[in-house]
Chain A
């Protein structure tokens, strides 16, 4: 069983029940300085380990970048 997520605009298949924390590890993204939103709602950092993702959900993974 796997789920198909949209991550930063691209389709990404993941094992069913993958959490936000697991997704970051899967994509080899260092969690420091990173924020995550699912379907437009910000996921609080301390809940990343519990928030599991489902097929069709749009995940945005952001990090700090240069900006005025």
Chain B
């Protein structure tokens, strides 16, 4: 039953369907073996990768991990502070992986790694014009999310809290406003610390969750990857099932009818 329901409820981004609503990043894993196990345990079908100077002495090959697991790589623009650098990095990702898809990330400073809205929107405009499918990492700002959608991004990816902070969803009300207005998929990106954060994102109505650190830096990354997979599925099912309203006082679930007279 559950399996059927999940399979008939695909995540669709830019016309492509995915069964999994969890996007697991490759950043932070202690080694490639653990990363591969975690990716497999998570059930993810998309994984983010960065671009860095080639290091022929590096042990193993991330490219081989992707090939073996068949998971679609999504190049990112991590480490870029300007629209100019982000556009160049996106173009490099397109050549390296022969994909038009990019996770656009333009941050303001090292301390917060918060998106720089001005540079982000500028880069999104340029990349959409250049034919990219842009998945934009953004602040939890409903206005910026709308402007990104108007620029033509394929998905908006608001943060729950700063990258790697594990603080969960700090402003669920802003996220609700983004979700209410969005005409493209909304992916919660950044801030997830543990499974309940991922479930909460899905319960609020997010289309997917993107996380890396919460899994790769967990004490047991493979176990946490599995936890995240179940949390995302549970959250999605709960969202579709429709939660009961919260109320201050109790409401009996057992009927009083036929109660014995203990006179």
Pair from one complex? yes
CA A13 to CA B78, docked complex, whole Å: 31
Residues of B within 8 A of A42 (CB): 88, 91-92, 95
Number of interface residues of A (CB under 8 A): 25
**Interface: B148 (CB within 8 A):** no
* Nearest Cβ on chain A to B57's Cβ, whole angstroms: 11
Q: Say yes or no: B28 contacts A62, CB within 8 Å.
A: no
Residues of B within 8 A of A35 (CB): 51, 91-96
**Interface: A34 (CB within 8 A):** yes
* Nearest Cβ on chain A to B256's Cβ, whole angstroms: 54
CA A66 to CA B76, docked complex, whole Å: 10
CA A38 to CA B48, docked complex, whole Å: 25
* Nearest Cβ on chain A to B4's Cβ, whole angstroms: 32
A39-68 residues at the B interface, CB under 8 angstroms: 40, 42-45, 60-68
CA A28 to CA B212, docked complex, whole Å: 32
**Interface: B243 (CB within 8 A):** no
Q: A27, A29, A40, A67: which contacts B26 (Cβ < 8 A)?
A: A67
| Interface residues as binary, B155-173 with A (CB distance below 8 Å gives 1, 0 otherwise) | 0000000011000000000
**Interface: B152 (CB within 8 A):** no
Indicate whether A67 sits within 8 Å of B49 (C-beta atoms), given known contacts A32-B63, A33-B63, A33-B97.
Answer: yes
**Interface: B29 (CB within 8 A):** yes
Q: Which residue numbers of B lie inside 8 Å of A, CB to CB? A: 25-29, 35, 48-56, 61-63, 66, 73, 75-76, 78, 88, 91-98, 163-164, 190, 212-213
Q: List 17 A-B contacts (CB under 8 A).
A: A8-B54, A34-B96, A35-B51, A35-B95, A36-B95, A37-B88, A42-B95, A62-B53, A63-B53, A66-B27, A66-B62, A67-B48, A67-B49, A67-B51, A68-B26, A68-B190, A68-B213
